[in-house]
Amino acid sequence: MQDTPAIGPHALIELADLLRQPAVSQVFVLADANTIRLCYPRLRDFLPENHITIEIPDGEEYKVLATCETVWEALTEARADRFAVLVNLGGGVVTDLGGFCAALYKRGIRFVQVPTTLLAQVDASVGGKTGVDFQNFKNQLGVFQVPAAVFIEPRFLNTLEPRQLKSGYAEVVKHWLIADAAAFENHRRTGFFVDEWAPIIRESVLTKERIVAADPLESGLRKVLNFGHTVGHALESYLLSLPGREILHGEAVAAGMICESWLSMKKGLLSEEDLDKIETFLFSVFEKVQFVTLETDAIAELALQDKKNAGSIINCTLLEGIGHAIYDQSISVAEIAESLRYYHWLLS
């Protein structure tokens, strides 16, 4: 289990201290086109002078093996040894892909995460999951590999467009729904109006850390973190395959949480009152994901590729009341399609 992330203005100072250690032979910085322009200038003063930057294109469509090859080529050309450190500066695509590349290069070099999006700060950079997409399926290839450290500087959030910030907020809401009913009740009345992100980030990270510490390799309890993701990943994967219709991860998860909350209600686990609270809150923050009812069966079929499945059984995380999630709940493709039709009907 990784140490608790450094969160706040001191985080980059702690990063500089780590990179100055004698055991570090070389420092590489992996960033996408956006973070090179918007975030790297703030980071540069905390890096050793002889560091090497590796730039990859921006976007989920580049979270694939072909991009990994360019990273491995850059490390190889620079003769990176097993004492090198890869600093992943970016959102979930960079932290997932960078961790995956580091885990496989020469059977593993150290990497640290410097997440720059809210989604990466509260979710993608914490917990030791790495991976890339394959054949349009989210994180189909990956390994568990804990980073050497995580450094969270909330001021990086100032570089985000509102849509990207909201995408990360979906994972914050997920943590409330699965494990903190009081926090959900406190925050649902103020919505997305946040003056200071650091306390929310810290609260969310601690929730995830508690769950991951109890089940590092996702054999049981950690599966509750997938709430909203069975339907959400299917929806995201489907739209990712259609140029011009791609949506952000958090937008898909927000839709997935509504669908899976509805399934929870249909199975007698969640009250209609709680379902209404969840729907009202999520729709106050997120716009409705657009698809047509004729597409629901095709979207639902993609859930058969979900990593939590056991053979042909689709295992889903559902809510047994707000603040309490239960995992390994069997659902069918037909039920997923029905939940998508329900979602499509809402606000129509």
Would strands 149-152 and 110-115 be described as parallel, antiparallel, or unpaired?
parallel
Considering only CA atoms, which of 229, 243, 346 is closest in space to residue 288? 346
pLDDT for position 36 = 97
Q: CA-CA distances (angstroms) from residue 151 to 19, 28, 229, 246, 313?
A: 12, 16, 26, 29, 38
pLDDT for position 235 = 97
pLDDT for position 3 = 73
Mean pLDDT per 10-residue section of the chain, whose length is 348 residues: 83 97 97 97 97 96 97 98 98 96 97 96 90 90 95 96 94 97 91 86 94 93 96 95 93 98 98 98 96 96 84 90 97 96 93
pLDDT for position 194 = 82
pLDDT for position 137 = 86
For 314, the 3-state DSSP assignment is strand
pLDDT for position 43 = 97
Provide the 10 A C-beta neighbour count for residue 173: 25
Q: What structural domains and CATH numbers belong to the chain?
A: 6-159 (3.40.50.1970), 162-345 (1.20.1090.10)
- Six-digit token string for 42: 């703030």
Left, alpha or beta for 328 (phi > 0: left; psi -120 to 50: alpha)?
Answer: left
User: Which residues are paired to 264 by β-bridges?
Assistant: none
pLDDT for position 2 = 61
pLDDT for position 310 = 74
pLDDT for position 234 = 96
